[in-house]
A = this chain, B = another copy of it.
Amino acid sequence: MSTINDVSRLAGVSKATVSRVLSGSRGVKEASRLAVLKAVEELNYRPNVIAQSLLSQTTGCIGVICAQDNINQTTGYLYALEKHLSQHQKHLLLRFANSRSEVISALDELTCGLCDDVLIIGARFPLNNLGYDDVILVDCVEADTPNSIQFDHAFAAETACNYLISQGRRQIALIHPDVSGSAERVLLGYKHALENNFLPFNRNLVFMDATSASVALQVLLNNASTLNFNALLVADEQEAQRVITQLQAFNKSVPGDIMVFSLAGSVHLPGIPTIPAIEYSMDAMAARIVSWLSEKTQDVLGACVLRGDLIIPDMRQR
């Protein structure tokens, strides 16, 4: 690879002039400008970004640590993020991490000048006192960082219930293991919706302990005759697919007998019937993050909360 020295020599000007032409490019005589451009072309010269980084103390690299347990969900994040980042001439440095210690070692390796900023996405384990306070947490639990983007789970649950009720489903079961710490928010929205619709709250329809969703569903099915539930709220699409299979194994039709609703996102695989869900716009999230990274004013991102959209299955598909 040729350097700025080669160009300056070939063009018969100094390094400074070459640099001027390639950046600002003002206050340079046309003749030498052309000479530089010609030399650049001839040598196929391109400035070394590492040298520029050393000088500017910024690399344009954004570290993204994916801590998502559902690996398939990361794709949506990554695609949206990369799209927005590259539009701002930023690069996405990808790491996966499945535990707090893995996150820390990833952070260690990324914050030695390589990355200007780091995001952590989807961690379901505590991330307090990381020792790095300028990290942005996206959809993570127990975020004591000033900069974080959370999803409004209460809003999601409330919307979900209101939709289900509008569809004539008044016995709504809720299975939402409390790994995410967001369970109480979900419950809040759930109760709120019931109240607003003058429906009683039935403790037996709600399963928020850490036991498996499969067991919870079995309990529900065992007591189906007395509970009479006709809708089921679950944490995410993956969970939804699981319970649907289980329901069908018990000869419950979906959504005929029981309407299953996913509280977070979806994997739209062709050939798999869509279920109603709350979906969070990855694009909106990415845009928010990138704009914050670009501005980089002193003020923090704050407890930014993102609300999801209600997605209902296209009836033509069924």
Contacts and interface: CB of A to CB of B under 8 A. Distances in A.
B53 A78 contact: no
Contacts of A243: 271
Contacts of A271: 240-245
A75 interface: yes
B267 A269 contact: yes
Interface stretch (A19-27, A31-39, A44-52, A296-304): A44-52
A228 to B, nearest CB: 24
Interface string A239-263: 0111111000000000000000000
Contacts of A242: 270-271
A1 interface: yes
A113 interface: yes
Interface in A87-118: 89, 91-96, 106, 108-110, 112-114
B82 A71 contact: no
A92 B94 CA distance: 5
A271 B248 CA distance: 10
A316 to B, nearest CB: 13
A88 to B, nearest CB: 12
Contacts of A86: 95, 106, 109
Contacts of A49: 112-114
A50 B46 contact: no
A180 interface: no
Contacts of A64: 94
A80 to B, nearest CB: 10
Nearest to A75: B75
17 contacts: A1-B113, A48-B113, A49-B113, A50-B54, A71-B75, A72-B72, A72-B75, A72-B269, A86-B109, A91-B114, A92-B95, A240-B271, A241-B271, A241-B272, A242-B270, A269-B269, A272-B272
